[in-house]
Structure formats: structure tokens, C-alpha cells
Amino acid sequence: MPSISKRGGKVPMSPFRKLIPFADKAKAAGKHVYHLNIGQPDIETPAYALQKVRETTFKILEYSPAEGIASYRRKLADYYRKFGIEAQANEIIVTTGASEAILFAMLACLDPGDEVIVPEPFYANYNGFAQIADVHIRPITSYIDTGFALPDVEAFESVIGPRTRAILITNPSNPTGTFYSREVLEGLGSLARNYGIFLFADEVYRDFCYDGNEFFSILNIPGIEEHAILIDSISKRYSACGARVGSIVTRNQQVLGAVLRYAKLRLSPPGFGQILAEATLEMEDTYINEVRDEYRRRRDVVYGRLSRMQGVVSYRPGGAFYCFAKFPVDSAEHFCQWLLEEFEHQGATVMLSPGEGFYATPGLGVDEVRLAYVLNCHDLDAAMDCLEVALKEYPYKKQATQAATTGPAARRPAPGPAF
Amino acid sequence: MPSISKRGGKVPMSPFRKLIPFADKAKAAGKHVYHLNIGQPDIETPAYALQKVRETTFKILEYSPAEGIASYRRKLADYYRKFGIEAQANEIIVTTGASEAILFAMLACLDPGDEVIVPEPFYANYNGFAQIADVHIRPITSYIDTGFALPDVEAFESVIGPRTRAILITNPSNPTGTFYSREVLEGLGSLARNYGIFLFADEVYRDFCYDGNEFFSILNIPGIEEHAILIDSISKRYSACGARVGSIVTRNQQVLGAVLRYAKLRLSPPGFGQILAEATLEMEDTYINEVRDEYRRRRDVVYGRLSRMQGVVSYRPGGAFYCFAKFPVDSAEHFCQWLLEEFEHQGATVMLSPGEGFYATPGLGVDEVRLAYVLNCHDLDAAMDCLEVALKEYPYKKQATQAATTGPAARRPAPGPAF
């Protein structure tokens, strides 16, 4: 029997994947599981856009142009203009989700063995796309104590090496919800210019910025027109994850050319998804404003509750719909498994993403989790009730002053193989 | 300014790409262009399936499972069973078109530097996916004189080397329309078993076999259950290229595991496309039978006309909707360009794909073209009228007995840079 490839056996997986069987078991046993582990919002897709798909009358579902439907690209350019982004329609290539945009950006700008610097914790699937493109992710650590503020320019500079070709950021960030300001981004821009490297920004959450944070795109940083590669998707913005429509935007003509060649290989992005995406751009801003308000309220519930839980470290995330928290436990992964396997509060429990999987540096994030606030405020409150009780009941809490051999930590299963 | 990657500058492109500006010019000048260069059928997508999409009532377009919608996978298993293919639903992973299935198969089964043997001429985009996966295509030549019959087992054996991990075939073939019989496939199966390598088969045209050819899948070759990887798509079968729905089917659990990991990275295949795809499998066979009859009639028109053109070598393709032909010209690429730039018959001309781009071995196919019979019989006849007149009028015909320095060949622009 032929064996699979070495790489095929090592595709990096999502941080909560190991917990899925435990969640399934909990549900089979009748427990309600509040899913704060995933990025699938419960918000309705705009009815207007769904209706536009349902009202189509064409008779052949043809390939669209590889670079996307022309009228959609024109409307996208208008949408970006609202954020002051001066991209033309021909500087936009429509992709099959942001996933494909990330892969195409890596392929077009990096050769095998090249490096991309990514602030950690980061969206874990970047690891997988880097594996396909055969490029290395060089992490640079950010810390919960500062709300995962972007490390300073000197920190970035210290890890730039001869194979560094790009910096990749997510703004606002998944998994931390951190918002990066114009000033901070301009620092990265200088770096990109000075070192002649690319700056990739995954800006899929741009419409979800709170507390007066004004979104600023890397495409607007003066002087790095040839360096900036914007990665986008409609999945979260319009709660249309199944559309599989993203885009890559850059003023670098050579990059556009290379991305277009990769786009032509796979012939076309999804047809119906693009029709839906185009329709979202014909709508008033009411929808997006309401969704933003809703996420802000949810953010307030989650942050408000976390900040009142004893021993929990968190911060007020400025964007997206994620938050990180540090718990008073030795192993957040074990705690997350225990929540599903052994804990129950009023017939329910919570599923979270262990933080470790969002870091590339071994040993970081072991007592942290990511919470995605993709449930309504009422359910979020109930989930937070569960979490609050669980943190009190969890038997293997961090006991900094106790010897490891005598404390409860000694009794808990060894992390790693036991999961 | 940062430069793009080396690979980004070298993505292999489709064989007719260089001709597009000439086609655009011809159209701008008022000429009608019969497009026989592309695989976009003019056949209507099943109205029933389009209607099913239009009748959906869900309110959130969510991610589907990474491996595809469960009910669709079950129906796909039933569909395959009609061809005697004994795949279970859990041995099917839904992909974003066959394009993604090819990439995932290469990634899951081959490591960088490994080789896959592919009979040439072959679907040119395989080159691009091989470039992304960083694997080498080892071509093995088939010839127009035998209707591009599969080379014999000894020929395959002679190119198997230490890095060979797989053989990839397309049955029926794009670009040649050649049908591979059960006997021929079983020969490849023995080879795969004896050498412990994978056998990939792109079977997207299985429903289009003519003249009583009975389709036989590689998944049915006894004894190679762990070797066979089927690649599929609904694009051509149901004329739904824009759906972007394909699949990968194998009984090899390790390969399934690896493919699923790659599938999870990109989260989900397109939602609407899967709904349409599932609906096609609820239909009677009337649609597919009618479409097959239509393509067979078109095949008869194209082959009938080609076989009566002086100096043209062709054959009766047994499946798909493509045909190769050898023309009495020195450079088919130049002829194709001349058709668009200089030729006109009753206000029209034809766009074809030069054959050279479908070969990996340099110098092969220079006097060959691919014709895709994706137009109705009336238009095909008109296109063949153009071609017949053009072959008579073309000033740079092959003059085997004439010295190159005195014949018209000496006057035509040098091939390559001139295009």
C-alpha cells in the first residue's frame, strides 16, 4: 500500500479540533454546548442579498472570469473607497474566500524556504497555508497584559533575516480582537519600505471596530503602494461564510499578474457566491451598522463578565468578535476538555478554543483561551454563567505557591498525550 | 519595491492564453469568433437544480462541513454506485471544483520533488497544480496516429523512477477525447500495485462516452483499493462550471485523512454550489442522456468534417467533448493567431487551442490543435466551414518537399517571440 506524503500527515489543524469528540459526547448525553470556539456567526445573512441570488434567471451557471465578475469588482472598489482605500477595480482579484487569498499571496510573493513574520497569537490556519506554500512562519510574540498590542518596530526588526519576504497581520485581529491604529501600522509600513519586504494584512473584520476606533487600511500607508497586499472576505462582514468569496487587493502590478495566473489555474471563484457578494454592496449601511452594534454589545457582555471573574486576565478587544483570556489553570486545554467531559451547569456547558494552538512558539498560551462571541447576548450571558461556575469548581487550578508534586496539578493527567 | 516570487513569475498558463488579445481585437473589428478553444459548454444547467437553489429559504449562509454537506455526499455515493463504484459517503470529500481535488491529491500523496507520470497531451492546468505542490510531471507520450491510445504498460514502466509516487490519467481525456477501456486501466492498476504507487484518475467526463463505450472507473480495478484516487467535478456533467463543486473519492483511509486536513484549512466548499449539485442527483437520467446524445452529434459533426479536410489527421474521439487534430501547417500556434488576425469567412472565424501547450515534451504538438465542441451543431458546422476555407487559404502550409530556406516557412515570423 502506498503511503501518504510526509506533509499530508502533518497538516496543522485547528486548535479546538481535539475537543470535537468530547463536545459530540456531551451533546449526545443531553448537555447543551455553548459554542464559543468557532467563527461561524449566528447573525442572519442580509435577506436582500439572499433574495438577489434567489431571483436570478440565468440558464447556464458558467465560469465567471478568473479574476471575478467585473461589476462586482467595480462595486468592491466603491466599497473600499468608503474606507479611503484608493484601489481600482482592476487592482482587485476575487478569490474563493480569504483562505485562497492568503495562499495566493504567499505563492505570489514568497518562494519555498522564504519567511513571513506573523505576530502571535495568530489565526491558526495560516500555518497550513504556509505548509502548502512551503514557507516558514517566524512568530513575534504579543502579550495579553497589553491587550496583545502590536510589538514595536524594533522587535520586528530583530527577527528580520535574509529570507524574510513579508509581514502578515490581521486587523482587527482574529484570535485576539486587537485593533491596530494608524500610527502602529505606519511603523510597519516604514519597516516594509526600509527592508524591501511585503506587508500582508488580513482585514476581513474591518467593519467591526468599536469605541470610535477608526479603521485604517495598509493600502493607505503612504509610500508602500508596492508593498501592501490586502486580504479580504465577505464571510464575517455579511455573515455569509458559505459563499466562499474573498479578494486580494494590491497596487503592485507584478503581484496582481502572479495572483491572476494562480487564479486562472482554478478557473473561477464561485458564481452564486459572487452574485450574493455583489448584492451586499448595493445595500444601505443599516445592516452593517446594526451588526456592528450587536457585536459591540456582545463584546461588552463577554468582557464585562470576564473582568469580574476572579483570577481571569483579559482586556477590552477593540474589534472583530474574539477575545483572549488567561485563566487560573495549569492547562487551558485540559480545562476545555473538562468543561465538556465533566462539567455541567443548569444542563449546559461551554466550548472554547485552547490558546496554545494560536501560538507558534512552544509553551506559550497554555493557560489562555480564545472566546468567539458569535451567540446572542442572552446565550452569551448563560455561557458566562457556566464559565464562572466552572472556574470555581475546576479542581486543577493553578496553585503557584504549592509544590507541583503535592498540589492538585500532580493529579491531573499529563498534558499532551492524554488528550 | 519588493519583487514577486520566482514561482509567481512562472505559473504555467493555458495554451490559448496568448491568443486572447487577438480574439478580442477580431471581435472589436466586428468578426464573429466561434470559440472552440474553451471548455465552457453552451448546454443549459438543469433547470430543476437551478430552481432548487432559488427555492432555498435558509437565513444564514453558513460554512458547510469541510468535507461537504452530508446529504450530498450520500447522494453522490448513490450516483457512483450506478457506475458500479462502491464508494461510501464517508469515502467522498467534496472539493471546490476538480481543481482543488487535483491539488489536494498531489499534496496528500506526494512530497516536494516527487514525480507523477502523466500521459501527454494532458490538461494543461495540471502543470500549475504541480508547481504549487512542488512536484514534477513526468510525461509519457501518446500519439494522434493511434487516437492517443494509452501507451502500453512497458512504456510507463520505463519512466518509473525512485521519486515516482503516482500516475495521473484523465478518462475520457481532456484534451484528446480518448476513452480508456477496462483492459487498459487494469494494466495501469497492476503497475500501481507492483510499484506501490498511486493511480489518480480525473473522471469528470464519465457521463460522456460514445459508441457503446462502457465507462470503467479506476475505483473498480480489483486489488488497488489503497492506490486509486478518483477526481471528480459537476462542472461539465451538469454544465455548472460556476458552481465550483468537485470531489475526491478514495478507499485509502490515510489519504482521506490527509485530504480532510487540507479541506479543513479552507473551511468549506461553496454552499449554493453544493445545493445545486445535490439537486442534480435527484433528477432522472433524461437530462444526462440528452446531453450525451447532443455531444455525440457534435462529435460526429466535428470528426466528420475534419476527416474530409485535406491533409488533416484526426480520429473519432470516444468520449468527453474534445478532439485533437494535426494540420498541414508548420506552426499551429501561428495558424491559430492568423485565424484571428487575418482570416475571415462570411464575417466569422474560429478560435482553437494550439496543441503544443498540452505537451510537456518540448517540440511535440506544434502542428496540432485541440477543438472543444461546446457549440451547437449548426454553429459547429459554420466553424468547420471557416476552418476548411482557412486551411486552404493559409499561406504558410507545410511543404515537406520544399527547402525551408525557399518555402513560405522562411517568410513566416519565427515562432515563439513573435507571438
**How does pLDDT run across A107-144, given as a tens digit for each residue?**
999 999 999 999 999 999 999 999 999 999 999 999 99
Cell 469548581 belongs to: A393
Option in A2, A252, A262 nearest B227 (CB): A2
Q: Cβ-count burial of A343 within 10 angstroms (0-12 exposed, 13-18 middle, 19+ buried)?
A: buried
**How far does the CA of residue B74 sit from the closest CA of chain A (Å)?**
20
Q: Is A265 on the interface with B (CB under 8 A)?
A: yes
User: What is the model's pLDDT at position A388?
Assistant: 98
User: What is the model's pLDDT at position A1?
Assistant: 84
Task: Decide if A134 and B112 are in contact by the 8 Å CB cutoff.
Answer: yes
User: What is the model's pLDDT at position A17?
Assistant: 83
Quick one: average pLDDT of B280-286?
Answer: 95
CATH number, domain B11-43+287-398: 3.90.1150.10
Quick one: average pLDDT of B319-343?
Answer: 97
Quick one: average pLDDT of B372-386?
Answer: 96
Which residue in chain B is spatially nearest to A7 when comparing CA positions? B111
Residues in chain B: 419
Query: Are the beta carbons of B323 and B303 closer than 8 angstroms?
Result: yes
User: What is the model's pLDDT at position B1?
Assistant: 84
Option in B100, B258, B261 nearest A266 (CB): B100
B411 has a pLDDT exceeding 50: no
Q: Is B396 on the interface with A (CB under 8 A)?
A: no
pTM of this prediction? 0.93
User: What is the model's pLDDT at position A400?
Assistant: 55
Per-window interface: B 152-191 vs A, CB < 8 A: 165-166
For residue A88, give the DSSP letter.
-
Quick one: average pLDDT of B342-357?
Answer: 97
SS3 content of chain A, % helix, strand, coil (to 5): 40, 15, 45
Confidence of residue B401 (pLDDT cuts 50, 70, 90): very low
**How does pLDDT run across A224-240, given as a tens digit for each residue?**
999 999 999 999 999 99
User: What is the model's pLDDT at position A14?
Assistant: 83
CA distances from A174 to A13, A123, A141, A177, A358 (A): 16, 6, 15, 6, 10
Q: Is A3 on the interface with B (CB under 8 A)?
A: yes
Q: Is A258 on the interface with B (CB under 8 A)?
A: yes
**How far does the CA of residue A80 sit from the closest CA of chain B (Å)?**
23
**How does pLDDT run across A320-350, given as a tens digit for each residue?**
999 999 999 999 999 999 999 999 999 999 9
Which residue in chain A is spatially nearest to B101 when comparing CA positions? A266
Amino acid at the residue B360: A
B315 has a pLDDT exceeding 70: yes
Q: Give the C-alpha separation, A150 to A158, whole Å.
A: 14
- Residues with Cβ within 8 Å of B207's Cβ and at least 6 positions away in sequence, in order, are B215, B237, B288, B291, B292
- Select from A10, A58, A60, A198 the residue whose CB has the most chain B CBs within 10 Å, as the one to mutate to test that interface: A60
Quick one: average pLDDT of B347-364?
Answer: 97
- Spell out which residues of chain B touch residue A261, defining contact as CB-CB under 8 Å: 8, 11, 13, 128
| CATH of range A10-39+287-399+407-411; options 3.40.50.170, 3.90.1150.10, 3.40.50.10210, 3.30.559.30 | 3.90.1150.10
B406 has a pLDDT exceeding 80: no
**Fold held by A47-280:** Aspartate Aminotransferase; domain 2 (3.40.640)
Give the percent of chain B with pLDDT over 90. 91
Which is more confident, A389 or A418? A389
Does CATH place domain B49-280 in 3.30.43.10? no
- Spell out which residues of chain B touch residue A252, defining contact as CB-CB under 8 Å: 1-2, 4
Query: Are the beta carbons of B242 and A96 closer than 8 angstroms?
Result: no
Amino acid at the residue A162: P
Q: How many CB atoms lie within 10 A of CB A51?
A: 11
Quick one: average pLDDT of B99-104?
Answer: 98
Task: Decide if B241 and A5 are in contact by the 8 Å CB cutoff.
Answer: no
Confidence of residue B384 (pLDDT cuts 50, 70, 90): very high
Quick one: average pLDDT of A177-205?
Answer: 97
**How far does the CA of residue B330 sit from the closest CA of chain A (Å)?**
29
Option in A61, A96, A252 nearest B243 (CB): A61
Quick one: average pLDDT of B251-269?
Answer: 96
Q: Is A222 on the interface with B (CB under 8 A)?
A: no
DSSP helix/strand/coil, A232? strand
Domain ranges of chain B: 11-43+287-398, 49-280
Q: Is B1 on the interface with A (CB under 8 A)?
A: yes
Whole-number average pLDDT of chain A: 93
Task: Decide if B112 and A112 are in contact by the 8 Å CB cutoff.
Answer: yes
Which residue in chain B is spatially nearest to A244 when comparing CA positions? B270
Taking the CA of residue A57 as centre, how many other CA atoms within 13 Å lie in the half-sphere pointing to its CB? 0
**How does pLDDT run across A15-28, given as a tens digit for each residue?**
888 899 999 999 99
Quick one: average pLDDT of A247-271?
Answer: 97
Establish whether this prediction's ipTM goes over 0.85: yes
User: What is the model's pLDDT at position B418?
Assistant: 34
Q: Is B349 on the interface with A (CB under 8 A)?
A: no
Confidence of residue A200 (pLDDT cuts 50, 70, 90): very high
